[in-house]
Structure 1
């Protein structure tokens, strides 16, 4: 009977020890799975479930361990079991602390999200403010350019109206418009500082133009001039606005130079009249530009004209250039001689033939404008061309 009792106890201890080992293996598996999921806050619910399973499994392991201690009679085995349990308990306590820190960090992260949104909103507002200040800067630049063009505008107005009172009124309008634009810019800056919404900024940006129009209309309504004077003033103002708009948006035209070659005279003079003479009324400035854009012999012919009076000097310089290089028969002869007595071109010279065709086209355009079409159609010249 005693032997059977000892065998039954031994079998019971073996079963309990196997149960203890199984629970320990399950604990190790749960530790590894928890380790992988603790690196992200996206798996919070799954981490909570794993932690709950871990706690249940540890309690089962603890119960099996206590049963093993009750059934075991060997002191060495008991000591090993105690050491193993202490190590497992330390691991469990460590993971319990890590889980608590994980949950606390998750709550802190959720509280930081509104702060990040607030910072992002502040950044967007700062970007909008920078953009708005750039618009104010552009308005200031336009105002400065308009002030530079004011003298040219006043000359254009003086050519259209002889009424000195009307001229003074136009200048007052210009000054009032400039002051209005400046005050509008200050309002825009205040609006930029106190901005509350994007729509408010857009409205502030549109103020300057409206203020200028309203101020101009108010001044025009109060002026006591006749309808003809007001019409002339409005016309001059529209031309100024158109000129300023074109000057701000179009690239600067290319100015040709002239080195004394007759077949370049016509296009040089046309280009000079369009870009210089048509825009400047002062003959002394016209003469200075004319000398500046001439080269070589052509410049030597006219540079002494600066010693004459401004009106006479410019006219004299133009007359010298015309007499030496701009007479129609001189230009026509230059083109014809260049084509007739130029270098021989072979039929296989594609590039040379292309250049010849281009020169003939230039010749046709220039001579037709000078009225020398007969020289182009001259039979002798055509034979030489062919």
Structure 2
């Protein structure tokens, strides 16, 4: 349970309740990452077509987008821990059904993937709100840094581990393993009694409750400004580099090594950023966070210019450091500033707009490339990545990510 305000602070890594929460969120993150990779292995062994892969991933995304706002409302209406429990169980059930449909029924795989996506989407805002219950405010930045560090380590080492496992077991077994991870995400986190919704809230309509969360977000101008900047960076910078980095690596440098090195550099930079921000608390934390977010603009900028491959790698390191300088204070400030009984709904709005709109950016990149060419697209995306956080920093409360006076 959370320490009282007067209790002496100790490292969050020595807190059993947090370690259980950390283990659960790490398991869910690993399962989330693993599914598309395992499905990609299924394409390689011809048990799934490329079109089938696209369909399954699309239905998972659809399930995620539908469930995020629902999960936010339910996590504020009921126990956050129960929402984690049921969403984790839903993904646990859906995972073996994907394996069952592999090579037999694409329709079953698509429906099961939607269920997994729904479990993933519902648990995200619940985990964010549960962190605020389990960890006291002075240690939340360290807790959020530890969680994001685990995610980055997973993305760095998991591909090799999964590929190694694929030499021993088939893709169906790997799919079942993701179900085990979701089961751990459902079972391992601690149960809390901090959040006790009023009976009146449980009788409100879903749309009304979600609208209450939107109104709560509007009470925090820094949050709306930062969310707008984050959405712009993800929809442009992430999308452009995701599509164009492989092309630039192939066409300009004539090697896949630049692609691999840049992606690894981004993850390594994010790991370094998480370590830095775990302890660093600058006075103008919001401005530092937005400056970190703007650093992602160096990634498309490095692809635009005919530079040495080392410059591309360095740009991705800087982007990785910057994104965690933003993410960790952003999550921490949201947990601190937003009304506790509306935290999950505000978090769901965050995920829905920032990461939910990413597929829209990806869908628009190809037409934009055909219409304007790669240099114009990369230049425009770099400009958006630099200007959107700068515009957000102009909002007075963005300096500290707080509407309260210093």
Q: TM-score, normalised by structure 1?
A: 0.20
Kindly indicate whether structure 1 or structure 2 has the higher relative contact order, using CA contacts under 8 Å at least 6 residues apart. 2
Q: Computing the radius of gyration over CA atoms, which structure comes out larger, 1 or 2?
A: 1
